[in-house]
Structure 1
Amino acid sequence: MTIQASDPESDIPGKPTSAARITLSHIMTGSDTNLLGTVHGGVIMKLVDDAAGAVAGRHSEGPAVTASMDEMAFLEPVRVGDLVHVKAQVNWTGRSSMEIGVRVMAERWNESTPATQVGSAYLVFAAVDADGKPRLVPPVIPETERDKRRYEEAQIRRTHRLARRRAIKELRAQRAAEGIEDA
């Protein structure tokens, strides 16, 4: 798999991975809990989407909307009093879409122990103009070996997303041709 610094059709210069990398931190409180007394997964997902959206907007230098979320994994429960750090960066770019990788870390607010990874996710954002139409984004330029690995893995996820979408459309078309109605 190749890493291209720029798209010859767009003439938009590429931007390094570090240009839009961010960390969003938040202390979890009682209002963030679920019925089990741990932080609700939806609260973590909102933080993930917020951080990814900030990265997408920074990288594309304008508005971007969430197109999909892949592989949201909750690895450990988050508790009230945890300081959660949501780290996000652009892994891959297409013409108007960007895959944003997010790692969720947590540490006790009152302890000096290292943060541990409690979750991760991959989100796809689409850059849009004022009318909500797709607009071109700068290609991302991976800087480190880790960035290059993440770029290549993102290409694999994209291939799988497109294949899954195509297979579902074909199945639905086949069912419709057979006269099978889905309610």
Structure 2
Amino acid sequence: MDTFKLASASQVSITELMLPTHSNFGGKVHGGHILNLMDQIAFACASKHSQSYCVTASENRVDFLNPIDVGELVTLKASINYTGKTSMVVGVRVESENVKTGKKRHCNSSYFTMVAKDDSGNNKPVPGLLINDEQGLRRFARSLERKMAVYRRDSKYDGEILDRSAYVTFLKGENAKLDLD
């Protein structure tokens, strides 16, 4: 196994025609179908980088920016943005294309944390990321910042150390009523 790899060595993309079976009750492509495709391509990218079976540990925020119509082509692109000891952050970008007009739209982007597994199901070390351009540096730094923000948020709101009185003011102007024992 290589010690470090370029992101370009494991980039993958897929294009799929959106069919009526992919639609929701509103006649647009169902978001769940897109999330399924995103998870699949994140798996493919992470597995290619780590040369291992990988599992999804988390997915960071999906904002559906534009609806996708039945009959459009959807292209998903995935790239390794960050590597830890046994995990990788895979950036996934989704674009739709109207086959009649050629117009392309950015539909959403998201970040999947994938963990490499060995044959026994234990976490397995992954190659590091060899960063060779500004975009790679930016993506790595953003992923690291997201990781640190999650840690800060999770530890700040730990149920064992939460000071309720410090957060009561958060409820002002919100659609909530406090009724604590």
With structure 2 as the length reference, what TM-score do the two structures score?
A: 0.84
Q: Which has the larger radius of gyration?
A: 2
2:116 maps to which residue? Answer: 127
**Alignment of 1:117 onto 2:117:** no
Shift in Å, 1:36: 0.6
The question of whether the paired residues in 2 share the 8 Å contact of 1:26 and 1:83 is answered with: yes
1:149 maps to which residue? Answer: 138
**Alignment of 1:33 onto 2:19:** no
Q: Equivalences for 1:1-183 in 2 at 5 Å?
A: 13-113=3-103, 115-168=104-157, 170-171=158-159, 173-174=160-161
Shift in Å, 1:174: 4.5
Name the CA distance, whole Å, in 1 between partners of 2:154 and 2:54.
21
The question of whether the paired residues in 2 share the 8 Å contact of 1:17 and 1:143 is answered with: no
The question of whether the paired residues in 2 share the 8 Å contact of 1:27 and 1:109 is answered with: no
The question of whether the paired residues in 2 share the 8 Å contact of 1:76 and 1:119 is answered with: yes
What is the letter of the counterpart of residue 40 of structure 1?
A: H
Q: Compute the RMSD of aligned alpha carbons.
A: 1.5
What is the letter of the counterpart of residue 120 of structure 1?
A: S
Secondary structure of 1:99 counterpart:
strand
Name the CA distance, whole Å, in 1 between partners of 2:2 and 2:84.
12
Shift in Å, 1:55: 0.4
Name the CA distance, whole Å, in 1 between partners of 2:51 and 2:110.
22
Structure 2, unpaired ranges of 5+: 163-181
Shift in Å, 1:163: 2.2
Shift in Å, 1:145: 1.4
The question of whether the paired residues in 2 share the 8 Å contact of 1:17 and 1:140 is answered with: yes
Shift in Å, 1:144: 2.2
Structure 1, unpaired ranges of 5+: 1-10, 176-183
Shift in Å, 1:12: 5.3
Aligned length: 162
What is the letter of the counterpart of residue 22 of structure 2?
A: D
Bigger relative contact order, structure 1 or 2, given CA contacts below 8 A and separation 6+? Answer: 1
Shift in Å, 1:64: 0.7
Secondary structure of 2:145 counterpart:
helix
What is the letter of the counterpart of residue 33 of structure 1?
A: S
Q: Percent identity?
A: 33
With structure 1 as the length reference, what TM-score do the two structures score?
A: 0.84
What is the letter of the counterpart of residue 13 of structure 2?
A: T
